[in-house]
Homo-oligomer: A and B are copies of this chain.
């Protein structure tokens, strides 16, 4: 008996020691992506209540549907990521911290009822992890959701979490992802998954390059032929209800949806069905139309009538105050070939070059938007061409060569800039490339010699996934986690740039994305050289054969 008692005690002691070691090993490595502004660790270890039903999310400030739905999501993320916590809870039954260390819920204090999403939206939050309640406080529900996201990342698979106080806010207000649904169409499921991944990365703008010359999947209720004739097929469409679903899904996650209808270039499919809109190109030898079309015809009233009606609809369908009007890469060859355009320029002596003709077009377009009280983001060419733009205009700097100088010129002129140029993720290469995006510093430019510039006008960063070679088969693993590098550059403080430290966190974060259903691809070689890029829980594909 004595022997048995001694063995039992020894076993209990071993269990106790093991539990402490295990507990620490569960908790020690958990990190947040993108990295918060300030984090302090109390040294305490807490444990989530081991039953999902004994854990609750409570609004202690302003309530909203947005917050309620966020509670639903984070309950799932914390307790049901692929049922792994279910397994973990069995483990927990062996390692239970004392009652003082149990967390039974989260109190979320939203201090205002402002549900708007703009460049000025307050996105800051504070998070205090302790027992029995975690405390999150924020000016807006969107800040509060970022607090929930941070908290969710800190909980180990077994339900342990460090005592942590975090004060956090984004460095840049505008952290965007551009998707292109014209070169290849994307199903709504893929867009939804992408929006979730953006929320996990605290990104807040979906720049939806929805149409282009290749196809026009946006179904306009004013001009139904645009998608009826301009989409690849009548299954490659975004009806108004589809667009509304994307907007709702995004808004619920603090993400603005800014559509781009690029003009006067990058146009063909769909718009070709509108009479007198695209410029007919002429064969320079025969002097006759050659059957092709070029950019919008800037010389006709019908063009501006179309734009007035079309943008009135866009204002109705998309709630954001901003649209992206494009304006990049306008080819002049077709305008040059067209005798009507030549005649128009002769009749307007102040338009002597095609760049001036392009500016003439943009002036009219922006005047229409001004009258409709719509603000605009522009690709940099419109700014470069000296078009008169409204003070709240955001200039999207995309040209790879010399973006630093351009950032200087834009901010020196007093406009907000968004930096896309170094973040074109459609360019791929063998090997690790997230470090390239991560190492960019958006404020690393000198102001022009002719004037000062205000670096606080750097509005943010935007990763672009142009869809030349991307569709639903490969979109998500190609974007994630490479875009996470851009997300942290946009959110975290300027001094967060240690690649070795970031490597550990982004690797951990990739596995969290996989647990949440996002097929984020590996960003490091397998186990060699001390790097471990496998995940404890790997991606679980579902393969549906045609015969089963």
Interface set of A (CB-CB < 8 Å, partner B): 72-73, 75-77, 80-82, 182-185, 187, 189-190, 192-193, 196, 212-215, 232-233, 235-236, 269, 426-432, 467-474, 476-478, 514-517, 519-528, 532-534, 536-548
Q: A187 to chain B: which residues have CB within 8 Å?
A: 538-541
| A524-B514 Cα distance, complex, nearest whole Å | 28
Tell whether, in the assembled complex, residue B184 and residue A520 are in contact, meaning their CB atoms are under 8 Å apart: no
Q: Which of B190, B426, B519, B528 contacts A473 (CB under 8 A)?
A: B519
Tell whether, in the assembled complex, residue A546 and residue B430 are in contact, meaning their CB atoms are under 8 Å apart: no
Q: A183 to chain B: which residues have CB within 8 Å?
A: 525-528
Name the distance in Å between A83's Cβ and chain B's nearest Cβ.
9
Q: Which of B72, B189, B525 contacts A542 (CB under 8 A)?
A: B189
Interface class of chain A by DSSP? loop
| A81-B544 Cα distance, complex, nearest whole Å | 10
| A525-B517 Cα distance, complex, nearest whole Å | 28
Name the distance in Å between A234's Cβ and chain B's nearest Cβ.
10
Q: What is the chain B residue whose CB lies nearest that of A480? A: B473
Would you list 26 pairs from A and B whose C-beta atoms are within 8 A, ordered by A residue?
A73-B547, A75-B547, A76-B546, A76-B548, A77-B547, A80-B547, A82-B546, A187-B540, A190-B541, A190-B543, A213-B528, A232-B527, A427-B430, A428-B428, A428-B430, A429-B429, A468-B525, A468-B526, A470-B521, A471-B534, A472-B538, A473-B514, A473-B539, A474-B521, A517-B546, A542-B542
Name the distance in Å between A507's Cβ and chain B's nearest Cβ.
13
Q: A190 to chain B: which residues have CB within 8 Å?
A: 541, 543
Q: What is the chain B residue whose CB lies nearest that of A542? A: B542
Q: A542 to chain B: which residues have CB within 8 Å?
A: 189, 542
| A473-B540 Cα distance, complex, nearest whole Å | 8
Tell whether, in the assembled complex, residue A269 and residue B527 are in contact, meaning their CB atoms are under 8 Å apart: yes
Tell whether, in the assembled complex, residue B430 and residue A522 are in contact, meaning their CB atoms are under 8 Å apart: no
Tell whether, in the assembled complex, residue A478 and residue B474 are in contact, meaning their CB atoms are under 8 Å apart: yes
| A473-B517 Cα distance, complex, nearest whole Å | 10
Q: Which of B232, B269, B472, B536 contacts A235 (CB under 8 A)?
A: B536
Q: Which of A82, A515, A526, A540 has the most CB of B within 10 A?
A: A526
| A523-B469 Cα distance, complex, nearest whole Å | 6
Tell whether, in the assembled complex, residue B536 and residue A474 are in contact, meaning their CB atoms are under 8 Å apart: no
Q: What is the chain B residue whose CB lies nearest that of A470? A: B522
Q: A236 to chain B: which residues have CB within 8 Å?
A: 534, 538
Name the distance in Å between A247's Cβ and chain B's nearest Cβ.
18
| A534-B527 Cα distance, complex, nearest whole Å | 37
| A470-B190 Cα distance, complex, nearest whole Å | 20
| A286-B235 Cα distance, complex, nearest whole Å | 71
Q: Which of B269, B534, B543 contacts A517 (CB under 8 A)?
A: B543
Tell whether, in the assembled complex, residue A471 and residue B232 are in contact, meaning their CB atoms are under 8 Å apart: no
| A70-B468 Cα distance, complex, nearest whole Å | 37
Q: Which of B427, B430, B467, B517 contacts A544 (CB under 8 A)?
A: B517
Tell whether, in the assembled complex, residue A543 and residue B189 are in contact, meaning their CB atoms are under 8 Å apart: yes
- Other A-B pairs, 18, CB within 8 Å; known A215-B526, A515-B546: A73-B547, A76-B545, A76-B548, A80-B547, A183-B527, A184-B533, A187-B539, A214-B527, A233-B536, A235-B537, A430-B469, A469-B523, A472-B540, A472-B541, A473-B477, A474-B478, A517-B543, A517-B544
Q: Which of B192, B213, B430, B469 contacts A521 (CB under 8 A)?
A: B469
Q: A73 to chain B: which residues have CB within 8 Å?
A: 545-547
Q: A185 to chain B: which residues have CB within 8 Å?
A: 534, 538
Name the distance in Å between A108's Cβ and chain B's nearest Cβ.
17
Q: A468 to chain B: which residues have CB within 8 Å?
A: 431, 522, 525-526
Tell whether, in the assembled complex, residue A80 and residue B546 are in contact, meaning their CB atoms are under 8 Å apart: yes
Q: List the 8 closest pairs (A to B, CB-CB), nearest first.
A: A76-B547, A183-B526, A214-B527, A473-B519, A474-B477, A214-B526, A76-B546, A472-B539
Q: A523 to chain B: which residues have CB within 8 Å?
A: 469
Q: A431 to chain B: which residues have CB within 8 Å?
A: 468-469
| A441-B547 Cα distance, complex, nearest whole Å | 36
Q: What is the chain B residue whose CB lies nearest that of A79? A: B546
Q: Which of A82, A524, A534 has the most CB of B within 10 A?
A: A534
Q: A471-B539, A473-B522, A522-B184 are in contact. Are A545 and B517 (CB under 8 A)?
A: yes
Q: A520 to chain B: which residues have CB within 8 Å?
A: 473
Name the distance in Å between A488's Cβ and chain B's nearest Cβ.
20
Name the distance in Å between A69's Cβ and chain B's nearest Cβ.
9
Name the distance in Å between A316's Cβ and chain B's nearest Cβ.
28
Tell whether, in the assembled complex, residue A77 and residue B546 are in contact, meaning their CB atoms are under 8 Å apart: yes
Name the distance in Å between A231's Cβ and chain B's nearest Cβ.
10
Q: A515 to chain B: which residues have CB within 8 Å?
A: 546
| A169-B125 Cα distance, complex, nearest whole Å | 67
Q: What is the chain B residue whose CB lies nearest that of A182? A: B526
